[in-house]
Chain A
Amino acid sequence: MSKKVATREAYGEALVELGRVDNRIVVLDADLSTSTRTILFAREFPERFFNFGIAEANMMCVAAGLASCGKIVFASTFAVFASGRAYNQFRTSIAYPRLNVKVVATHSGISVGEDGVTHQCVEDVTMMRALPHTTVIIPADGIETKEAVKASIEWPGPVYMRLGRPAIPLVYEEGYKFDGRALKFEVGTAMKLKEGKDLTIIATGMMVTEALTAAASLAKEGISASVMNVHTIKPLDESAIVKAAKQTGAVVTAEEHSILGGLGGAVAEVLVENAQVPMIRVGIRDAFGESGTTSELLVKYGLTASDILAASKRALKMKR
């Protein structure tokens, strides 16, 4: 896990690769193409790329119009604008009529770093998963991002995909493998990365790496933890989550997002109705962030492997 790749970089590369084989793909941006990396597509396919300037609301509805004429539209900006700034546009013009628009939001979460609260979106998953017809995907690393972008083309309807700014460690090996095992990205199917019997750590996005590290530390203390990558928050793989909860009897969720309504909220909803086991949510505890380096912020806001480790021990204590 030494090589680091930003999920947004992988997204930009995936768009170019897919744009070469599928001319239905049209890409939109709102003056952030250099940052979201859609600029890679813009350079190669200028006739299928439109930059709308700093006008996200317009961009979202233009995406709807393009999609209604058969285009597969990728619309990108930072998560804080993609969700909150243009929420009503996404809701009414894209989600309601189930149009084939993939909103790929970069610079999500607190890992944005120095730009501070105005650019650190920690509530987008809560908002977007509340919308009917909407699929919410958070890839765990650059390799999975490429698979997710590819899969989203085959998955009709509105998609919100959440990517990050910083380069993060690779969870998967080239060719989308884990421990040498070849995998297939399926929207809505959670991926068990590690089998364990004492508890299940359910993670998403950049926290998957942290969850694996935490599980390795737990193993040293004789605690056997399952690790599950829930790359699709909606539709949530409820049966896999319920099964894992019943098998291990305790659950910890981990996300670089608010604990209110994101992965933790979604898992809690499922478990309270189907498998009431002790559960602890690791995430941002109802707070705005602040300026700082990514690693400083992850430590301060409790988003590291050691936070997952501590939460796991608490969950195990509750289990007994």
Chain B
Amino acid sequence: MTVLDDKRTPHDDELVARLNSVALKLRRDILIMTTKAGSGHPGGSLSSADIMTALYFHHLRHDPQNPRWEDRDRFVLSKGHGCPALYAALAETGYFPEDTLWTLRKMGSILQGHPDMIKTPGLEASTGNLGQGLSIALGMALAGRIDRRKYRVFALLGDGEMDEGQIWEAAMAAAHFRVDNLTAILDLNGIQLDGLTKDIMSLDPVPDKWHAFGWHVMEIDGHNMREILDALDGAEHVKYMPTIIVAHTIKGKGVSFMEGQVKFHGTALTEEQLAKALKELQSERSEN
């Protein structure tokens, strides 16, 4: 087992400020699209907005003009219900026009309620039945190894999803095959559909579990852009084992009345709530 020390690449303030501003835009898009749709999962989309931003606007090697570029990095949204965050990132980076976001969950839309890799340009997997994305990402990582390609694979997991046995099947397999081109990011927001994860199904100690399964584990504040960027860079230097970035996050992050609220797991805001939320997300932007 060889683990190089995490190399902390300095990320300048300008980059961090730019990404924070993008994340704010994604948050607004997430709330507008789910309210227009009248349904969806805003809470878990907001908790992953900063991670999504760091990936799509800085870390991933991808080309929105050529979504099937063979050497692109792959991103799998294992927590498929968090797709509003991903759709917002894909629109903002140019995979499809921003207007498309307002068709979310509507008949004929390319933006399905859960990700459909055939309909939506830029999607790498059809997910939404929890527990499957890490395995899919492992398959992509193994394909990269067979083909000796340099691309890396990322999977964003939800913490409720840790309940699924298949996550641990994949965790075991990724370590067994010494896959080091795979990075998992755990959006540890502490809430699942029925309540707090600690009440529904205890997950602790999360980092210890992944460590025991043979993964290199990093723990960060999932809303601190610099920490996210540093962790993603650090993961690239870990050899012969997969890395998981355990990101401590807040469900509904960015909107005071949504933060830590179970009900916003799978409920869209009303128009009135939306107006209030957008105001908060606007003012926060001017502070940055």
Please give me the residue from chain A that is nearest to B131 by CB atom: A57
The reply to whether B129 and A92 form a contact with Cβ atoms under 8 Å apart is: yes
The reply to whether B139 and A92 form a contact with Cβ atoms under 8 Å apart is: no
**A88 contacts which chain B residues (CB < 8 A)?**
129
A295 to B133, CA, bound (A): 43
Q: Of A62, A63, A97, which is in contact with the most chain B CB atoms at under 10 Å from its CB?
A: A62
A235 to chain B, nearest CB (A): 20
**A21 contacts which chain B residues (CB < 8 A)?**
none
The reply to whether B146 and A47 form a contact with Cβ atoms under 8 Å apart is: yes
The reply to whether B126 and A26 form a contact with Cβ atoms under 8 Å apart is: no
Among the listed A50, A57, A96, which residue makes an inter-chain contact with B169, where contact means beta carbons less than 8 Å apart? A57
The reply to whether B138 and A62 form a contact with Cβ atoms under 8 Å apart is: yes
A66 to B131, CA, bound (A): 17
The reply to whether B125 and A50 form a contact with Cβ atoms under 8 Å apart is: no
The reply to whether A62 and B136 form a contact with Cβ atoms under 8 Å apart is: yes
Proximity string of chain B (96-137) to chain A, C-beta cutoff 8 Å, 1 when within and 0 when not = 000000000000000000001110000011111101110111
**B137 contacts which chain A residues (CB < 8 A)?**
65
**B177 contacts which chain A residues (CB < 8 A)?**
50
A315 to B173, CA, bound (A): 53
**B143 contacts which chain A residues (CB < 8 A)?**
26, 65-66, 68-71
Among the listed A48, A61, A91, which residue makes an inter-chain contact with B139, where contact means beta carbons less than 8 Å apart? A61
A98 to B117, CA, bound (A): 10
**B218 contacts which chain A residues (CB < 8 A)?**
none
The reply to whether A66 and B172 form a contact with Cβ atoms under 8 Å apart is: no
**A66 contacts which chain B residues (CB < 8 A)?**
139-140, 142-143
The reply to whether A97 and B126 form a contact with Cβ atoms under 8 Å apart is: yes
Q: Of B128, B132, B165, B176, which is in contact with the most chain A CB atoms at under 10 Å from its CB?
A: B132
B147 proximal to A (CB < 8 A): yes
Known: A92-B128, A93-B136, A97-B118. A58 touches B173 (CB 8 A): yes
A74 to chain B, nearest CB (A): 13
**A92 contacts which chain B residues (CB < 8 A)?**
126-129, 132
Known: A61-B132, A61-B136. A68 touches B142 (CB 8 A): no
Q: Measuring CB to CB, which residues of chain B are less than 8 angstroms from any residue of chain A?
A: 70, 74, 76, 116-118, 124-129, 131-133, 135-144, 146-147, 165-166, 169-170, 172-173, 176-177
In the A-B complex, the 10 residue pairs with the closest CB atoms: A65-B139, A61-B135, A69-B143, A58-B169, A55-B169, A62-B139, A65-B136, A66-B139, A65-B140, A97-B126
